[in-house]
Amino acid sequence: MSDTTLPLLLEPEALEPLLGTPNLLLVDLSRADIHVQYHIPGAVHLEYNQIVRMAPPVGGLLPDEAQLNAVLSAIGLTPDSHVVAYDDEGGGKACRLLWTLEALGHTRYSLLDGGLHAWANEGHELTREPTQLIPSRCTVQFITGGVVADTAYIMNHLGDTSHALLDARTALEYRGLQRYAVRGGHIPGAINFEWTEAMDQERNLRLKPAAVLRRQLEGMGITKDKTVVAYCQTHHRSAHTWFMLKWLGYQAKGYEGSWSDWGNREDTPVEN
């Protein structure tokens, strides 16, 4: 299976006949108690906390290469694997895995559109049978100039018309009325686009049609000539926003640490 075989956004009905295909690595980032009750046949479970690192008060950082190699080896990732990720929350955790893979240069991946909601609600096969893990020897490393933005990168591009910032938090967080860091508010110039705005609530949390999302983003000045940096509190919700942007053809990055980094520093400017 090559990296061009499957689309970036994969529909449940397209995945179902592929179950059991060699090199298809189906990864479930749902809660562990949900996975035990039911999951897609052949899916391996991955705990979200294994792909993020905490350095209080900052959360949502990338683990080092050694930890990621251990985690990805445990689930059987190889250079030939095409990863299809899903979760039970609309895609935030699954997209964080995909963003991490992209940061490591592994571009053979897809998001299951609608995740477990779409799969289960539309009558596709589920099982309680544990998936036999076949570990690999994964040796990945971060690539430079990729999809990861840090504080220095954003500071260097504040006011740069070639860049845009998309804040995936709630309007209350964006305005500083709900605070999960020492300081509240948002990065100067950032535009608020709550991550759930991209979800179609009538279609089992699938992404809204591309034309609808493009029109909405362009109406806010988020145009395809800009590099767009997505952030939230810990780059969990905004990983979904990053994926949406990538799917729409934008040059996109994700800010690891996000507001838990920016809002807990003393050397970063804040708007309310």
- Give the pLDDT confidence score for residue 81 in this predicted structure: 97
**What CATH number corresponds to the domain at position 205?**
3.40.250.10
Q: What is the pTM of this model?
A: 0.96
- Give the pLDDT confidence score for residue 1 in this predicted structure: 46
**Are 14 and 69 contained in the same domain?**
yes
In this predicted model, what pLDDT tens digit does every residue of 34-79 receive, in sequence order? Answer: 999 999 999 999 999 999 999 999 999 999 999 999 999 999 999 9
**Domain C-terminal end among 103, 121, 139:** 121
Q: Is residue 100 part of a domain?
A: yes
Q: What is the DSSP string of the chain?
A: --TTTS-SEE-HHHHGGGTT-TTEEEEE-S-HHHHHH-B-TTPEE--GGGS-EEETTEEEEPPPHHHHHHHHHHTT--TT-EEEEE-SSSSHHHHHHHHHHHHTT---EEEETTHHHHHHHTT---B-PPPPP--------PPTTSSEE-HHHHHHHTT-TTEEEEE-S-HHHHTTSS-SSSS-SB-TT-EE--GGGGEEGGGTTEEPPHHHHHHHHHHTT--TTSEEEEE-SSSSHHHHHHHHHHHTT-EEEEETTHHHHHTT-SSS--B-
Q: Has residue 4 got a pLDDT over 70?
A: no
- Give the pLDDT confidence score for residue 171 in this predicted structure: 98
- Give the pLDDT confidence score for residue 3 in this predicted structure: 40
Q: Is residue 81 part of a domain?
A: yes
- Give the pLDDT confidence score for residue 166 in this predicted structure: 98
In this predicted model, what pLDDT tens digit does every residue of 62-73 receive, in sequence order? Answer: 999 999 999 999
In this predicted model, what pLDDT tens digit does every residue of 158-170 receive, in sequence order? Answer: 999 999 999 999 9
Is there a catalytic annotation at residue 232?
yes
In this predicted model, what pLDDT tens digit does every residue of 195-254 receive, in sequence order? Answer: 999 999 999 999 999 999 999 999 999 999 999 999 999 999 999 999 999 999 999 999
**Are 220 and 178 contained in the same domain?**
yes
In this predicted model, what pLDDT tens digit does every residue of 80-118 receive, in sequence order? Answer: 999 999 999 999 999 999 999 999 999 999 999 999 999
Structural domain that includes position 219: 148-262
Q: Is residue 198 part of a domain?
A: yes
- Number of folded domains in the chain? 2
Q: Is residue 220 part of a domain?
A: yes
**Are 164 and 236 contained in the same domain?**
yes
Residue of 232, 239, 245, 248 marked catalytic: 232
Q: Is residue 4 part of a domain?
A: no
**Domain C-terminal end among 63, 86, 121:** 121
| Mean pLDDT (the chain, rounded) | 96
